[in-house]
């Protein structure tokens, strides 16, 4: 399988991912929203609560506390296992890295 680099803001490779891993990760619609929100951050750092607020705003049937719970227990651990983020669960801080393959697939799946 082909591996794709996951880089920080300075372009340094932090880890790699494979296409199958990316596709498994993006199979979940909620996780796609999480990744898009992280990619749209001005900084590569965000607090879990801020991310939950961004995700909870456009959909009235979802709560910010529900998002924060799902982020902490489901989405962020998966993203961290793949190497796309570093997550300090005690402080709630998330450092996001970039993967061009992930961005390409997101654009192809959901062009908005």
pLDDT for 33-91, tens place per residue? 999 999 999 899 999 999 999 988 756 667 888 899 999 999 999 999 999 999 999 99
- Report the predicted TM-score, pTM, of the whole model to 2 decimal places: 0.89
- Distance, in Å, from the CA atom of 81 to the CA atom of 77, rounded to the nearest integer, reads 6
- As for how many domains the chain has, the answer is 1
**DSSP conformational letter for 75:** I
Task: List the CATH number of the domain containing 59.
Answer: 1.10.10
- Distance, in Å, from the CA atom of 98 to the CA atom of 96, rounded to the nearest integer, reads 7
CA angle, 10 as apex, 8 and 14 as ends, to 5°?
A: 35
Domain interval for residue 70: 3-109
């Amino acid at each position: 399988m082909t591996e794709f680099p996951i880089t920080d803001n300075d372009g340094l490779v932090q880890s790699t991912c494979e296409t199958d891993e990316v596709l498994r990760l993006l199979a979940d619609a909620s996780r796609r929203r999480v990744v898009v929100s992280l990619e749209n951050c001005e900084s590569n750092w965000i607090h879990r609560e801020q991310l939950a607020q961004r995700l909870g705003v456009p959909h009235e049937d979802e709560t910010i506390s529900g998002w924060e719970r799902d982020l902490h227990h489901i989405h962020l651990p998966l993203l961290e296992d793949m190497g796309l983020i570093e997550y300090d669960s005690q402080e709630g801080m998330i450092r996001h890295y970039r993967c061009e393959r992930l961005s390409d697939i997101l654009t192809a799946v959901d062009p908005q």
